[in-house]
């Protein structure tokens, strides 16, 4: 079954200059392999499309069941240079939380409602 990311993981954001940093943390260790397999660099880049003008990188942190993404050119020049408040890290995280992830039936009991 396909479910939105927020049912199996939570996210945190940060920003450095014109680069957004998004951490994705699986709620359970059983869900981490789903994130690692499905949240590829290409998939995440396609989620943001032209909103990210630079390189998307992914770092795996299996010891804490997490992935860390850096999105270069995602912040309209950076917080201090942009008049568009909607482009900053938290808005980017909210978009990622709606991405659908395929979850096998055996893990349905580990999904969060909200």
Q: What is the pTM of this model?
A: 0.87
Check: CB of residue 76 under 8 Å from CB of residue 68: no
Q: How confident is the model at residue 98 (pLDDT cuts 50, 70, 90)?
A: very high
- Domain of residue 48, residue span: 2-110
Give yes or no for residue 41 having a pLDDT over 80.
yes
Question: Cα 76–81–86 angle (5° rounding)?
Answer: 50
The number of folded domains in the chain is 1
Average pLDDT, the chain: 88
Across 16-20, 38-42, 70-74, 98-102, least confident range: 16-20
Task: Give residue 86's pLDDT.
Answer: 47
């Amino acid at each position: 079954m396909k479910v939105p990311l927020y049912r199996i993981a939570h996210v945190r954001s940060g920003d450095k200059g014109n680069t957004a940093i998004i951490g994705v943390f699986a709620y359970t260790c059983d869900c981490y392999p789903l994130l690692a397999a499905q949240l590829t660099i290409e998939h995440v880049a396609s989620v943001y499309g032209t909103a990210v003008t630079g390189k998307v990188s992914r770092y795996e942190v299996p010891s804490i069941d997490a992935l860390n993404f850096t999105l270069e050119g995602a912040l309209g020049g950076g917080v201090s240079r942009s008049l568009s408040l909607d482009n900053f890290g938290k808005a980017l995280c909210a978009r990622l939380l709606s991405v659908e992830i395929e979850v096998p039936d055996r893990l349905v009991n580990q999904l969060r409602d909200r």
